[in-house]
Structure 1
Amino acid sequence: MSNKTACPLDCYDACEIIFDNQKLRGVKEGHTQGFLCPHLNHYEKHATIQTPRYKGEEISLDVALEKLKVMLQSCAKNKILHYRGSGNFALMQEVTDHFFASYGAVLTEGSLCDGAGEEGIKQGRGSNKTMPIHEIAKSEVVVFWGRNPHTTSSHLLPLIKGKTIIVIDPIKTPIARMADLHIQLKPHTDQFLAMLLARFLHIESGYDKEFLQKYASGCEEYYELTQNLRIKAVLEQMDVSLGQLGDFLRLVKDKRAAFVCGVGVQKYHDGADVMRSIDALAAMLGLFGKEGCGVSYLGASRANIASPFYTQSKKVSKVLTEFSSFDTVFIQGANPLSQMPDSNRVRASMERVKNIVYFGLFENETSEVADLVIPAKSFLYKDDVRTSYSHNRISFMPKVAETDAGISEYDLSAYLCREFGIDLQSEEFYINHFKSFAVQKIDGLLYVDKREEIPYANGFDTKDGEFVFLDEIDSKIDENEGLHLITSKSPTSLNSQFHRQESVYLHSSLGFREGEMVSVTSVSGSVRLSVRHNNDLRSDCVLIYSGTKGVNNLTPSKHALSAKSAIFQENKVEVRKWTV
């Protein structure tokens, strides 16, 4: 049995691992570089669900599977919902989709994460291709635009030593304190900053003329669009100075630059336009199709890999799911009662479901209300393969240890397919299918075959091969009353797993005492939290980390304008001292 595997967690790095004497350590080769993030360093210390239960009583796995079968048989097929989380990036997770789609159940579509930004990227470039980590390592300038690598992508840090660092973020993050330039702009103004930078780049003739003529000839019309912005007023609204614009352009012009973007910039109704504007600035600088240049967002982790699983089915929005429309809801690797927006609506909808089944590793708000709980196996106890949304590596994940607890996604699906007469190939067949997309390169490491090392080297994936600029401004800077809500990734938890935060972070100038209880309220609902001071925040901002219990009481049940994507930072909030 091999002791080398890979991490399945939802983060940029996708570390490769050695499992030795019940401990995890990083593989020295490749981007993992011998060390692991805090989540993985302490992974085995987090208690997982060991025993199935029904209506609060512990039962055997055989009994749990029989009860699941009866639940599915007891209702119409179109009254069954399969709600699968997307936070596990091992490819065999999708085998359950094959059963439920083949059976005639309803699946979900859309994104609780990056969907609006991805849609904007596709509108401009025609596709969403990854700028690999090794290309960022070749950059001279790295712009962290709404991204905090110390929390979300720690394996980038050794690769940026000695480079010019620019940070654009409402929070003075650790990387911002190290930066050559930090623009601490007001939240939800990134589009206007990118457009003003493009405008001044054009005025100074700092754009890449040769690249634009060949691949982005619409830049003149885009420059005219940027002239609709009133410079002085927009700068005041963003809380950005003219000098900062000049400093940014001075640092990036004629340099190999990488824009490393986080998902926070697009957690709004117009999130697609935000990413299109950042992409447009990169295009005017000629940063696509060249070594050490580009825009790094969440790439398509399944790109160039054909799924062997049948998934043709009716689908409902993962953001706006009306659970009460179904009799049996099978929830896999997800915690919708915490992670979906508008938790009050979700809770009320779930209360009207006859059968809720939770299939996962960890206890959470959703497992607590489930009628049937079936424990899953962690990545250490099953075979799998994974890819990444920030680089082109493909990692094999063989079983490295044994356990009697839980059941794998494949084994559960195999049971259901057998009981309901649905065809399913062997687990080995599917593993080998995914492995067939791997190719070993000169460094001895495995990569997804036929992915571009330098994306867009031969132009964009649009009809004419050219970048498509925005042609109108649909967004406005929000001047309404209230504080801006920021829902960043937590350094101690991953979504709603591990050590979840329990506080709201406020600038001390707002007048609330450290540790006092406050009510944070939006038009969607409220949450009661204790105060912690953070003077790295702007004073017009409220930081509640993603995964904090109750944070999504504050967020709206709405899609972004051009994608079925959640808009977690759309609502402004008010903070008041808690009174009983």
Structure 2
Amino acid sequence: MNSNNKVACPLDCYDACQGQMIDGNIKGSKEHKTTNGKLCVNFANLLKEDNLKKSFFEGNEISLKESLNILVDKLKTTTPSKTLFYKGSGNIGVMQSVTKNFFTQYGATLTKGSLCDGGGGAGIEAGRQNVINPPIQKLIDADIIIVWGRNFTVTSSHMYNLVKDKTFITIDPLCTDIAKKSQIHMQINPKTDYELALLFTRFAHMQDLENSQFIEEFGNGADWFFDIARNRPLVSYEATTGISLSQVYEFFDLIKDKKVAIVLGLGVQKYFEGAQITRCIDSFAAYMGFHKQDAGGIWYLSDSGFGYEKPFEIKGTNKKVSIPEVEFSSYDLVFIQGGNPVISHPNTQKVIDGLDKTFVVYFGTTLNETCEYADLIIPSCSFLSKRDVRLSYGHELKSISDVVIAKDENTMSEYELTSYLIEQFNLKELKKEDEIISYYENHKPKLEDFETFDFVEELDIEPLYKEKTNDNFYFITGKSKKSLNSQFTNDNFVYLNATTNFKDEDIVNISSKYGSAKFIVKINDDVKSNCAFFFAGNKNANYLTPAKEDESSFSAIFQEVLVEIELS
């Protein structure tokens, strides 16, 4: 059997699965701890994808060579700063960032911030100087796992399988599958997670459960943090969070003297003050001493590249624009790699209007909704036909990808395209591909733990419930079992609780400050009654969301919005 048969799943999820090509079929790798011999639904769906194998210019099929000539000519006749490089997360292998090297040298405008995790990452980094998860074994060794704003069985199915026999507590506005498996489900009101963290901190102090040793040895500002928590009556938290004090007592009875892990999701930080919200939750974890124990800790979306060199990164003076606030119409050329901003970017109408007014190049493996607005389409080769390494943001393990299927001659890898463009523009050459891959395969970074923990000492968060009325709803999103963001199948329904008095198959118009769209209703009592729920990848959901950045990390704030619903 060919020993070079490993396949790393490139998809944007926590598990970073690794497969193997065996007798012409991809099987889950048994040597990879989280994959553990099984492929998840998303990896299986990816293997069924019909990959793009043709180039197109203005809707007409052309050769790969012709597409490259058009791209080079367009780049040479466009002012570099009027070119925008926009990279999505359709493939997040380490080799996919190579294209940024060319566009940096060329002088293009780059993006900064995130459509995903930026606010939460900034909050955690402010407390402990990095965004690094504990070793996966500490999750496996925990007694209790608190799933906070994370659809754990869906977004992290392999990690979940390692700990599925644990006792779970879920904090989420939705009654997710993991909530149904949990001993306690706290169905919290959106954007009140920081208040629940403060309430927990108050209870911990009342019951003498704070970890004084951790606070004394590693903590800065714990007293200030506690002062925030005790600055209001206990019952006031009950009213705003939607969580009863009796349930909080039950929570502490369950976790007392246990090894506790928190798996923290992205939903808690999709707001203007997302960094403060996440930092508040992390501060509660520190107050309890969950950090630096033999088991347990807190898992978020970590910095997967921590401890590795960045082989493609070069210094440049390029202008950088906030990704959620980008004005596509401000550029003469927009180069989109592996992204689908027409679906995944906030404020869909603004995105479409902007792309309509510029020259759009799309470089990716499959046709998507954004391709409808692309003038030039260049096919990237399948992940099965290029070498890569996938670093995980869910755990410390990595996955290796070999070439297991011959590359289609009408496609090219990101490394090949970048090398070609660098040659055409006479720029500094890249490191050799084999050298880069070998480094990632053989380098094992040290997982550095923080030396001090800085508790959040002040909060300035504007609650959404101040604007909430009986006539509007919190806008929330989550992951689907059948798709990954805008990839694979789309679920374009709005999910509402039966108490809203809407009915299955009602056609409704949903509006916000930022736009409106029509949806078909699906009644589902797993959704909290004051929420309108949409699966990520819903074609119309982002007509409702703000193209605005958060307060600290140039990141999107998809859920900083209330919506009104009317029968259409």
Q: TM-score, normalised by structure 2?
A: 0.95
The aligned runs of 1:309-458 (5 Å cut-off) are: 309-311=312-314, 312=316, 313-353=318-358, 355-404=359-408, 405-424=410-429, 425-437=431-443, 448-452=444-448, 455-456=449-450
- CA contact under 8 A between 2:215 and 2:222: conserved in structure 1? yes
Between the aligned partners of 1:362 and 1:87, the Cα distance in structure 2 is 10
Whether 1:543 and 2:530 are equivalent positions in the alignment is: no
Work out the CA distance in 2 between the residues paired with 1:476 and 1:569: 12
1:166-218 per-residue CA deviation (whole Å, 9 max, x = no partner) reads: 00011111111111111011111101001011011112111111111111152
Asked whether the 8 Å contact 1:24–1:40 carries over to 2, the reply is: no
Q: Secondary structure at the match of 1:83?
A: strand
Q: 1:521 to 1:335 in 2, by over 3 A?
A: same
1:453-468 matched pairs, under 5 angstroms: 455-456=449-450, 459=451, 465-468=452-455
Aligned residues: 558
Distance 1:81 1:349, change over 3 A: same
Of residues 216, 235, 238 in structure 1, which corresponds to 2:238? Answer: 235
- 1:234 Cα deviation (Å)? 2.4
Please report how far the alpha carbon of residue 472 of structure 1 lies from its aligned counterpart in structure 2 after TM superposition.
Answer: 3.3
Q: What letter corresponds to residue 435 of structure 1 in structure 2?
A: E
After TM superposition, which residue ranges in structure 1, 4 or more long, deviate above 6 angstroms?
none
Counterpart residue number, 2:113: 110
User: Superposed, which structure 2 residues align to 1:474-489 within 5 Å?
Assistant: 474-476=461-463, 478-480=465-467, 481=469, 482-489=472-479
Aligned to 1:568: 558
CA 87–195 in structure 1, closer or farther in 2 if over 3 Å, else same: farther
- CA shift, 1:72, in A, is 0.4
Deviations 1:430-487 (A, max 9, x none): 22333342xxxxxxxxxx32124xx44xx3xxxxx23332323434352322101111
| 1:26 Cα deviation after fit | 0.6
Q: Among 114, 122, 127, which residue is 2:125 paired with?
A: 122
Alpha-carbon distance in structure 1 between the residues aligned to 2:226 and 2:80:
53
Q: Which letter maps to 2:57?
A: Y
**Does the CA-based 8 Å contact 1:323-1:349 persist in structure 2?**
yes
Contact 1:308–1:433 under 8 Å retained in 2: no
Aligned to 2:196: 193
Paired AA for residue 458 in structure 2: D
Q: Structure 2 unaligned runs (5+)?
A: none
- Aligned-partner Cα distance in 1 for 2:110–2:439: 23
Q: SS of 2:535's equivalent?
A: coil
Q: Displacement, 1:295?
A: 0.8
1:22 shift after superposition: 4.1
Cα pair distance change 1:32/1:271, threshold 3 Å:
same
**Residue-by-residue CA offset, 1:492-536 (whole Å, 9 max, x unaligned):** 111211111121111122122212221111111112111111111
- Of the three residues 64, 72, 77, the one matched with 1:74 is 77
Given that residues 377 and 408 in structure 1 are in contact (C-alpha distance below 8 angstroms), is that contact kept between their aligned partners in structure 2? yes
Deviation, 1:87, is 4.3
Q: Is the 8 A contact 1:142 1:260 kept in 2?
A: yes
The match for 1:269 among 244, 269, 272 is 272
From 114, 133, 137, give the equivalent of 2:136: 133
Q: Which moved more, 1:478-487 or 1:543-552?
A: 478-487
Q: Output one character per residue of 1:86-114: Cα deviation in whole Å (capped at 9) or x when no partner.
A: 34221111110111111111111110000
Secondary structure at 1:563 match in 2: coil
In structure 1, stretches of 5+ residues that fail to align are 438-447, 460-464
Q: In structure 2, how many angstroms separate the alpha carbons of the residues matched to 1:310 and 1:222? A: 38
Instruction: Tell me, in whole angstroms, the C-alpha distance in 1 between the residues paired with 2:476 and 2:170.
Output: 17
Q: Which amino acid aligns with 1:526?
A: S
- 1:225 alignment partner AA: I
Which amino acid in the other structure matches residue 455 of structure 2? V
Check 1:287–1:415 CA distance in 2 against 1; reply closer, same or farther (3 A cut).
same
Which whole-Å CA distance do the structure 1 matches of 2:394 and 2:56 have between them?
A: 38
1:41 counterpart = 2:35:
no
| Cα deviation digits, residues 279-330 of structure 1 (max 9, x gap) | 1111111011112221100000110111111443221111111112211111
Q: Give the distance between the partners of 2:296 and 2:456, measured in 1 at CA.
A: 19
Give the distance between the partners of 2:435 and 2:110, measured in 1 at CA.
24
Alignment partners' CA distance in 1, 2:166 and 2:453: 30
Alpha-carbon distance in structure 1 between the residues aligned to 2:156 and 2:187: 21
Q: How far apart in 2 are the matches of 1:507 and 1:474?
A: 28
Q: Kindly provide the amino acid, as one letter, of the partner of residue 429 in structure 1.
A: E
Q: Which residue of structure 1 aligns with residue 29 of structure 2?
A: 27
Verify the 8 A CA contact 1:141 1:164 in the aligned structure 2: yes
**1:471 pairs with 2:450:** no
Distance in 2 (CA, whole Å) between partners of 1:414 and 1:221 is 53
- Of residues 152, 175, 179, the one that matches 1:176 is 179
Aligned to 1:18: 20
User: Which residues in structure 2 correspond to 1:137-286 (within 5 Å)?
Assistant: 137-286=140-289
SS of residue paired to 1:529? strand
- Paired with 2:249 and 2:388, the residues of 1 have a C-alpha distance of 49
Amino acid across the alignment from 1:381: S
Distance in 1 between the 2:223 and 2:256 partners? Answer: 19
SS at match of 1:187: coil
Counterpart AA for 2:415: Y
Distance 2:392 2:457 in 1: 29
**Counterparts of 2:460 and 2:117, CA distance in 1:** 21
Contact in 2 for aligned 1:328/1:357 (Cα 8 Å): yes
The 8 Å contact of residues 464 and 560 in structure 2, kept in 1 or not, is answered as no
Alignment-mate amino acid for residue 420 of structure 1: F
Structure 2 counterpart of 1:506, one-letter code:
L
Against the structure 1 CA distance between its residues 345 and 91, is the aligned structure 2 distance closer, same or farther, given a 3 Å change threshold? Answer: same
Structure 1 CA distance for aligned equivalents of residues 182 and 272 of structure 2: 30
Matched, 1:303 2:306: yes
Please say if residues 276 and 470 of structure 1, whose CA atoms lie closer than 8 Å, have aligned partners that are also in contact: no
Give the distance between the partners of 2:45 and 2:459, measured in 1 at CA. Answer: 48
After TM superposition, the structure 1 = structure 2 runs for residues 85-104 of structure 1, keeping only pairs within 5 Å, are 85-104=88-107
CA distance in 1, matches of 2:39, 2:479: 17
Q: In the alignment, which residue of structure 1 is the partner of 2:7?
A: 5
Under a length normalisation based on structure 1, what TM-score does the superposition of the two structures give?
0.94
Q: What amino acid is aligned across from residue 520 of structure 2 in structure 1?
A: S
* Cα pair 2:276 2:459 within 8 Å, conserved: no
Deviation, structure 1 residue 21: 4.2
SS in 2 for 1:260: strand
Q: Distance in 2 between matches of 1:560 and 1:345?
A: 18
> Residues 21, 574 of structure 1: CA spacing in aligned structure 2 closer, same or farther, 3 A cutoff?
farther
